[in-house]
Amino acid sequence: MSDNSSDPVAALAAVNARLKAATQRPVTLIAVTKTFAAERIAPVIAAGHRDFGENRVQEAEAKWPGLRVPGLRLHLIGPLQSNKAAEAVALFDVMHTVDRPKIAEKLAEEMTKQQRRLDCFIQVNTGLEPQKAGVLPADADAFIKACRDDWKLPVVGLMCIPPVGEEPSPHFAFLREIARRNGLDQLSMGMSDDFEIAAALGATHVRVGSAIFGARR
Ligand SMILES: *Cc1c(COP(=O)(O)O)cnc(C)c1O
């Protein structure tokens, strides 16, 4: 995309400028740091950026305790195993991948135990992909209701990852519609290749990795 990839601070500024051009609304840019070492992330924190995303609890545990500064928000954007719920609640500030009863129940239990409340996004499998995480669209309303009423999770919005190789717009619009009918106003959608489209379609959070840090090995 650009050879800013050698300078993540410059690349982040470029992504922010593109976001501003795509929408007037404020959008939280989550800088996705999975696979990148602490030395590569530190300059971005020093430049004042505060929202970061990781997709694995174990990798985040190894990297983030040493990087944290006040006001930093760490977002879990990858699938959570229930045996990692305690670590996830201790380390992260926002969960983007709540997608099944077992995880919802475990998160609720850990938040109570640790006296921490993490904003929760429910992941929806908008493309009905068998291998992909996320609640199926047909089950989304009931699951959202259960997360709120049964497990008392602080549900703030929905998240999706459109199928690779498909036009993402219909998925973003579909997610927005499910959120609207459930009274949710936050949408975590859009990655390096499609964050401007997502922003134009109502994203409140975009998750951008390679456009900031360069290609992952
Ligand atoms: C890796 C990842 C991203 C960022 O992907 P890029 O294409 O590098 O921007 C966003 N969301 C999720 C869930 C991811 O796992």
Of the candidates 203, 98, 72, 77, the residue with the CA atom closest to the CA atom of residue 153: 98
Mutate to test the pocket of ligand 1, among 2, 32, 126, 205 (most ligand atoms within 8 A of CB): 32
Q: Give pLDDT, residue 2.
A: 44
Q: Give pLDDT, residue 1.
A: 43
Ligand 1 binding pocket includes 32 (Cβ within 6 Å): yes
Q: Give pLDDT, residue 157.
A: 98
Q: Give pLDDT, residue 6.
A: 81
Q: Whose CA is nearest to atom 6 of ligand 1?
A: 209
Instruction: Tell me the C-alpha distance between 162 and 76, whole Å.
Output: 18
Ligand 1 binding pocket includes 208 (Cβ within 6 Å): yes
Q: What distances in angstroms separate CA 94 from CA 4, 23, 25, 212, 216, one per listed residue?
A: 28, 23, 21, 21, 23
User: Which pLDDT tens digits describe the chain residue by residue (217 residues)?
Assistant: 444 448 999 999 999 999 999 999 999 999 999 999 999 999 999 999 999 999 999 999 999 999 999 999 999 999 999 999 999 999 999 999 999 999 999 999 999 999 999 999 999 999 999 999 999 999 999 999 999 999 999 999 999 999 999 999 999 999 999 999 999 999 999 999 999 999 999 999 999 999 999 999 8
Please, are residues 182 and 7 in contact by the beta-carbon 8 Å criterion? no
Ligand 1 binding pocket includes 77 (Cβ within 6 Å): yes
CA angle, 158 as apex, 152 and 161 as ends, to 5°? Answer: 140
Q: Give pLDDT, residue 5.
A: 46
Residue that is written with structure tokens 């929408």 in the block? 23
Q: Is the pTM of this model over 0.75?
A: yes
Q: What distances in angstroms separate CA 86 from CA 29, 51, 123, 160, one per listed residue?
A: 26, 21, 20, 24
Please, are residues 201 and 172 in contact by the beta-carbon 8 Å criterion? yes
Ligand 1 binding pocket includes 123 (Cβ within 6 Å): no
